[in-house]
């Protein structure tokens, strides 16, 4: 039995894993960089160890440091969360060599499914439907011939890619070679591997993924789908389950192929099979993520399964605690990713000090976050600060509940995408379930309306607050009767300070 788990991560996912560990009576160990000395996961864990400077390549990505802390703290196991070392086969191998349980799949599954070309070939062998495409391409003549055979438009993709890096959409034949060169250069800079391949471009795709679990006893099951088509620069922003386009027949077929894909690599642990689907019910394997996904809470909400607890039990050698026929979807769940970013400035990250935060509460609302008043969001990591998850008895109720939760969610001191998200849940295409991966670009004018309005209102409040304060200093009529209660400053100024509107 696992008694102590080192969580090799930070932020909301570290806190989320630790919560399940606490429910199971398992001690937790946090690791932290200079920037995260006061982070929530450090406060929440039973033990915490410093592992180096703020940049992740000097702290969270250094395998030797993580292993050293695991030994010092007598941790039985390591949970990698997502990102950082979660899909690093060398890290999984090192844990095995040191006698530490790695809560995830073995390194072979990571290597096969982590490389898009090898994963594609493996899926073809397993009989899983894949997008028409190629293997690794090196010669320009090969590239041109492949594009002619597949038919334009095509997507050029980096084999080791992710997060939209090393990807190019090519619509014209004369753009193909330059796009391949650019993708190879970007892939080499980002991943140290310039291998690329070509896939047929699916014009109006839905990004649908299936959650899978496998154990060491040969059992593999799926926990239904998640619709992840609200994306910006190939990064997910909003997810929901069930998918608005799903039929029982399509769900059964995709679920069967998801299980086939996992079985092809003898998968053990939690993973995700990602598909592209069109409006005609056709779907194709895209890739596999050999880890827990950011959006896993919506699956937990509609199935009642704690995926982290299941990961831990599987790592202990237990079989999956339920069978496929035991599972069903109940109600509708949605997740919105809250980012410290400025939508009006091309969604640039907005690190800084959290001056005020009011987290949403109420029926059907779950908030997975890691920030608090007085915490300074560092510049070194992903700008996602929390995930807002809601559940409703149906899709309509879930949308209403999400809008209510977004309305209640207040953060000052930094810019966030909260108002932008509220517009997502108002957009007709989303409300009607009539959207694909082009949703944001197709609705960008509507989505940005609130941002412009909010910016004007914030400026008005700041100016008004400042002018009222100045008027009082100059002997004007005070906005409140300070003389009776001996207040040292006006209520306007105090309010402005509390809400981050004044820095004087």
**Where exactly are the structural domains of the chain?**
4-103, 132-200, 204-330, 337-442, 457-498
pLDDT for 421: 98
pLDDT for 476: 54
Longest Cα–Cα distance in the chain? 85
Confirm whether 291 is a catalytic residue: yes
With a cut of 70, which residues of the chain have pLDDT below it?
A: 161-163, 450-504
One fold for 204-330 and 337-442: yes
CATH 3.30.1490.20 holds for 132-200: yes
pLDDT for 408: 97
pLDDT for 410: 96
pLDDT for 111: 96
- Starting at the edge strand that comes first in sequence, how are the strands of the sheet with 4-7 ordered? 47-50, 27-32, 4-7, 77-79, 101-102
Backbone angles phi, psi at 35, to 5 degrees: -70, -20
Choosing from 10, 94, 111, 291, the catalytic residue is: 291
356-400 pLDDT, tens digit each? 999 999 999 999 999 999 999 999 999 999 999 999 999 999 999
Contact assessment for residue 112 and residue 87, using Cβ atoms and an 8 Å cutoff: no
328-363 pLDDT, tens digit each? 999 999 999 999 999 999 999 999 999 999 999 999
Backbone angles phi, psi at 274, to 5 degrees: -105, 140
Q: pTM of the prediction?
A: 0.84
E strand residue ranges, 290-383: 332-339, 341-342, 348-349, 352-353, 356-358, 365-369, 376-377
pLDDT for 197: 87
The strand pair at 376-377 and 352-353 is best described as antiparallel
pLDDT for 419: 96
Kindly give, in sequence order, each residue whose CB lies less than 8 Å from that of residue 218, ignoring residues fewer than 6 positions away.
none
Helix, strand or coil, per DSSP, at residue 373: coil
pLDDT for 472: 60
Query: What CATH number does the domain located at 337-442 have?
Result: 3.30.470.20
**Fold annotation for 4-103:** Rossmann fold (3.40.50)
Query: What CATH number does the domain located at 204-330 have?
Result: 3.30.470.20
DSSP 288: E
* Dist CA 246 CA 238 (whole Å): 17
């Amino acid at each position: 039995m696992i008694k102590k788990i080192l969580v090799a991560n930070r932020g909301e996912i570290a806190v989320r894993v630790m919560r399940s560990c606490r429910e199971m009576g398992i001690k937790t160990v946090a690791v932290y960089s200079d920037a995260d000395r006061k982070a929530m996961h450090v406060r929440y864990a039973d033990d915490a160890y410093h592992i180096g400077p703020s940049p992740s390549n000097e702290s969270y990505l250094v395998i030797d440091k993580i292993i050293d802390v695991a030994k010092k703290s007598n941790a039985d196991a390591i949970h990698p969360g997502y990102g950082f070392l979660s899909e690093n086969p060398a890290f999984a191998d090192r844990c095995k060599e040191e006698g530490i349980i790695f809560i995830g799949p073995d390194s072979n599954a990571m290597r096969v499914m982590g490389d898009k070309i090898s994963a594609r070939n493996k899926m073809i062998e397993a009989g899983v439907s894949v997008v028409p495409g190629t293997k690794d391409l090196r010669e320009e003549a090969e590239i041109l011939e492949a594009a002619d055979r597949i038919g334009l438009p095509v997507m050029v993709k980096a084999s080791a890619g992710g997060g939209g890096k090393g990807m190019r959409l090519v619509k014209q034949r004369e753009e193909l070679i330059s796009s391949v060169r650019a993708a190879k250069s970007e892939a080499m800079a980002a991943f140290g591997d310039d291998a690329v391949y070509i896939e047929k471009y699916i014009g109006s795709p839905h990004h649908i993924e299936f959650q899978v679990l496998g154990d060491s006893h040969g059992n593999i099951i799926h926990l239904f789908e998640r619709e992840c088509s609200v994306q910006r620069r190939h990064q997910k922003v909003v997810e929901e389950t069930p998918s608005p386009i799903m039929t029982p027949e399509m769900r059964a077929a995709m679920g069967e192929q998801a299980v086939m894909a996992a079985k092809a690599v003898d998968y053990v642990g939690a993973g995700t099979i990602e598909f592209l689907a069109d409006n005609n019910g056709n779907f194709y394997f895209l890739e596999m993520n050999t880890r827990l996904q950011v959006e896993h809470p919506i699956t937990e909400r509609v199935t009642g399964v704690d995926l982290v607890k299941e990961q831990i039990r599987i790592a202990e050698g237990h079989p999956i605690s339920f069978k496929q026929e035991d599972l069903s979807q109940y109600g509708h769940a949605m997740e919105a990713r809250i980012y410290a970013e400025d939508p009006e400035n091309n969604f640039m990250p907005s690190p800084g000090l959290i001056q005020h935060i009011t987290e949403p509460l109420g029926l059907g609302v779950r908030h997975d976050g890691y920030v608090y008043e007085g915490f300074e969001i560092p510049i070194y990591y992903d700008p996602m600060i929390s995930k807002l998850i809601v559940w409703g008895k149906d899709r309509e109720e879930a949308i209403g509940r999400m809008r209510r939760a977004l309305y209640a969610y207040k953060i000052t001191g930094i810019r966030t995408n909260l108002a932008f998200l509220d517009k997502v849940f108002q957009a007709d295409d989303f409300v009607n379930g009539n959207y694909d991966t082009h949703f944001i670009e197709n609705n960008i004018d509507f989505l940005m309306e609130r941002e412009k309005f909010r910016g004007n209102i914030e400026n008005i409040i700041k100016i008004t607050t400042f002018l009222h304060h100045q008027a009082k200093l100059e002997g004007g009529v005070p906005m409140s009767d300070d003389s009776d209660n001996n207040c040292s400053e006006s209520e306007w100024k105090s309010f402005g300070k509390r809400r981050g509107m004044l820095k004087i």
